[in-house]
């Protein structure tokens, strides 16, 4: 669904100046109404609270955007903001080194940094120390930052940590019973905020919110749980799916006539049977029969008056339509319909593929007596088996014994494969319905072809599954991976996936959202 190869086509199809849902878009700043009170609270606590301040939210919840807004809204003349990242430098030495470098301190130790903070305070400047990706801080780094936040009687920096909720447990373990920090948890967007967010993202790339219908916006909000990072991924996937669907709907010009393989096989079978019948029929019969004389093997000629034929288990004679055309026997009928054969192409035992046995006493006129018919074993396809009958008058009806119950076999055979496919799809849906709603799965990709989804799951194996949903009135088969008790566990699992799977930008989602999509698709 989402791939590196789709990027260029995606931008060109919608005439976008850039990817509107990229994680970092220069100049993009969306600050919904619910985040403004949070920003005000941070400024208030920085002035009046002596505690370390912690802002938590899942990956893609907008923590970095809030941190940027906090820095941008401070008075640059009275506040010096120091922004450091714990990514790749989560120990005390790495964090203190970044702080000391920003404050122009030679010795990267807490006491030396605090002395510089006091000196800046004497000149009327406060220090805001903001740490991104704080969930990656180890115990030593957290202890060093708590020491800086406590400060000295002469002065202290205002320390802000922006990280995922796992950060809280680490701080609680260090603090024990002491109240050393204050937590602010970010909340997901409401549906109207999701709409405003999408509109601003699209407008920045030269498009408009009209690319999405109201139902699509509701689906995006629901699938993403209202978190901005997830909104980006789900919205981008929806646009790419719509692009693929629109291109598939365009009728491509025909470069020539191509007959389906099944029809080619059926026609080939007709030709083979017709050639075999033409080779067997002309001039192969016996002499006229006298009363009491034994009959010999004979062939029913084409173009002659139609003899009466009596089928086994039938009380009434029936005319066999053989004037001017060959008889369509079991194998030919099956080839024409593409059914009643085993997987290897061999007729199923007991089906209409078994040739009927014909007994006749009506010799064709003008054929010399005493010439037996050629042996049918030399023909490449099943041929009629002609048996020798008892002496009988010339006017005796011909008796044919067809294969046992061909019709039920032909009618029941083609239903086997569709029934298997339906069962497989139901099994996948049932698995999702049986899982706890609070668990998470990793969405890998979506495709409009169930065969592609089955092939992908078969190739990857393991914990890969798929379910069917409806997008824009058309079926969409969504592939997921794993089953996790928390979003953090799902995020960790994404990092272990193969590179070609990670290239599709998989993302975690709740089992509850999958169950709701399954209920909608019914």
Predicted confidence (pLDDT) per residue in 222-276, tens digit: 999 999 999 999 998 888 888 888 777 654 554 444 556 556 577 777 777 776 6
Contacts 24+ apart (CB under 8 A), 267-271: 268/335, 269/331, 269/332, 269/335, 269/336, 269/381, 270/332, 270/335, 270/336
Look up residue 166 and give its two tokens. 């796992």
Percent of the chain whose pLDDT exceeds 90? 32
Tell me phi and psi for residue 127, to 5 degrees.
-120, 125
Looking at 107-111, 190-194, 365-369, which range is the least confident one?
A: 365-369
At 192, is the pLDDT very low, low, confident or very high (cuts 50, 70, 90)?
very high
pTM: 0.48
Three-class SS state of 129: strand
At 280, is the pLDDT very low, low, confident or very high (cuts 50, 70, 90)?
low
User: In terms of Cα–Cα distance, which of 105, 174, 185 is closest to 142?
Assistant: 174
User: In terms of Cα–Cα distance, which of 176, 507, 383 is closest to 373?
Assistant: 383
Average pLDDT, integer, range 36-58 = 90
The answer to whether the beta carbons of residues 135 and 163 sit under 8 Å apart is: yes
Average pLDDT, integer, range 412-424 = 36
User: In terms of Cα–Cα distance, which of 196, 66, 193, 191 is closest to 134?
Assistant: 66
**Does residue 393 surpass a pLDDT of 90?**
no
Average pLDDT, the chain: 74
**Residue predicted with more confidence, 269 or 154:** 154
At 407, is the pLDDT very low, low, confident or very high (cuts 50, 70, 90)?
very low
pLDDT of residue 346: 35
**Residue predicted with more confidence, 188 or 423:** 188
Average pLDDT, integer, range 70-96 = 90
Point out which residues pair with 308 in neighbouring strands.
Answer: 319
pLDDT of residue 240: 86
- Domains of the chain and CATH, by start: 6-25+190-249 (no CATH), 35-185 (3.40.50.300), 261-341+350-404 (no CATH), 418-521 (3.30.70.1070)
Opening angle at CA 405, ends 404 and 408, nearest 5: 150
**Residue predicted with more confidence, 522 or 167:** 167
CA distance 450 to 466: 9
Looking at 11-25, 189-203, 307-321, which range is the least confident one?
A: 307-321
pLDDT of residue 520: 75
pLDDT of residue 281: 64
Question: Which residues are within 8 A (CB) of 222 and not within 5 positions of it... i.e. 6 or more apart?
Answer: 513, 516
Helix or strand run (H / E) with residue 447? strand 440-447
pLDDT of residue 133: 92
Average pLDDT, integer, range 50-68 = 91
**Does residue 38 surpass a pLDDT of 60?**
yes
Looking at 230-234, 276-280, 312-316, which range is the least confident one?
A: 312-316
Average pLDDT, integer, range 31-35 = 81
**Residue predicted with more confidence, 196 or 338:** 196
At 49, is the pLDDT very low, low, confident or very high (cuts 50, 70, 90)?
confident
Q: How many helices (H) and strands (E) does the chain have?
A: 18, 14
**Does residue 166 surpass a pLDDT of 80?**
yes
**Does residue 149 surpass a pLDDT of 90?**
yes
pLDDT of residue 176: 86
Helix or strand run (H / E) with residue 194? helix 191-204
Percent of the chain whose pLDDT exceeds 70? 64
Q: Is 462 left (phi over 0), alpha (psi -120 to 50) or beta?
A: left
The answer to whether the beta carbons of residues 363 and 298 sit under 8 Å apart is: yes
440-447 and 507-510: which strand pairing? antiparallel
At 405, is the pLDDT very low, low, confident or very high (cuts 50, 70, 90)?
very low
């Amino acid at each position: 669904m989402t791939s590196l190869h789709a990027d260029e086509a995606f931008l060109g199809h919608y005439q976008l100046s850039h990817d509107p849902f990229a994680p970092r878009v220069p100049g993009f700043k969306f600050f919904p109404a619910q985040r403004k009170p949070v920003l005000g609270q941070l400024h208030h606590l920085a002035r009046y609270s002596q505690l370390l301040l912690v802002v938590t939210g899942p990956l893609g919840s907008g923590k970095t955007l809030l941190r940027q807004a906090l820095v941008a809204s401070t008075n640059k003349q009275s506040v010096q903001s120091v922004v450091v990242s714990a990514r790749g430098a989560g120990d005390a030495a790495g964090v203190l080194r970044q702080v000391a470098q920003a404050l122009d301190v030679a010795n990267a130790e807490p006491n030396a940094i605090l002395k510089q903070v006091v000196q800046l305070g004497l000149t009327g400047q406060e220090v805001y120390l903001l740490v991104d990706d704080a969930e990656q801080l180890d115990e030593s780094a957290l202890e060093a930052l708590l020491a800086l936040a406590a400060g000295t009687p002469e002065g202290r920096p205002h320390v802000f940590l922006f990280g995922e909720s796992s950060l809280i447990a680490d701080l609680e373990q260090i603090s024990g019973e002491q109240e050393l920090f204050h937590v602010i948890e970010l909340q997901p967007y409401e549906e109207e905020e999701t709409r405003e967010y999408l509109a601003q993202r699209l407008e920045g790339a030269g498009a408009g919110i009209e690319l999405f219908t109201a139902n699509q916006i509701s689906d995006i909000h629901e699938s993403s749980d209202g978190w901005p990072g997830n909104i980006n991924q789900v919205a981008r996937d929806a646009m790419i799916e719509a692009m693929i669907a629109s291109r598939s709907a365009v009728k491509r010009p025909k470069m020539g006539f191509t007959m389906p393989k099944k029809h080619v096989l059926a026609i080939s079978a007709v030709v083979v049977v017709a050639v075999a019948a033409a080779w067997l029929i002309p001039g192969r019969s016996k002499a006229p029969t006298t009363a009491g004389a034994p009959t010999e093997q004979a062939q029913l000629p084409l173009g002659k008056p139609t003899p009466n034929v009596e089928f086994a288990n039938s009380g009434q004679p029936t005319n066999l339509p053989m004037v001017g055309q060959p008889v369509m026997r079991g194998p030919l009928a099956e080839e024409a319909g593409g059914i009643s054969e085993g997987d290897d192409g061999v007729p199923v035992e007991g089906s209409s593929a078994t040739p009927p046995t014909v007994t006749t006493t009506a010799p064709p006129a003008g054929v010399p007596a005493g010439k037996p018919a050629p042996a049918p074993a030399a023909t490449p396809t099943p041929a009629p088996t002609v048996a020798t009958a008892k002496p009988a008058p010339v006017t005796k009806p011909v008796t044919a014994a067809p294969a046992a119950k061909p019709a039920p076999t032909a009618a029941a055979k083609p239903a086997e494969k569709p029934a298997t496919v339906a069962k497989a799809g139901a099994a996948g849906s049932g698995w999702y319905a049986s899982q706890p709603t609070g668990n998470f799965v990793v969405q890998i990709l979506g495709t409009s072809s169930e065969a592609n989804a089955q092939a992908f799951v078969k190739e990857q194996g393991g914990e890969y599954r798929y379910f069917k949903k409806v997008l824009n009135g058309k079926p969409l088969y969504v592939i997921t991976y794993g089953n996790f008790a928390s979003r953090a566990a799902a995020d960790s699992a994404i990092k272990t996936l193969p590179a070609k799977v990670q290239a599709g930008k998989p993302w975690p989602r709740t089992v509850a959202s999958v169950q709701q999509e399954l209920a909608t698709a019914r």
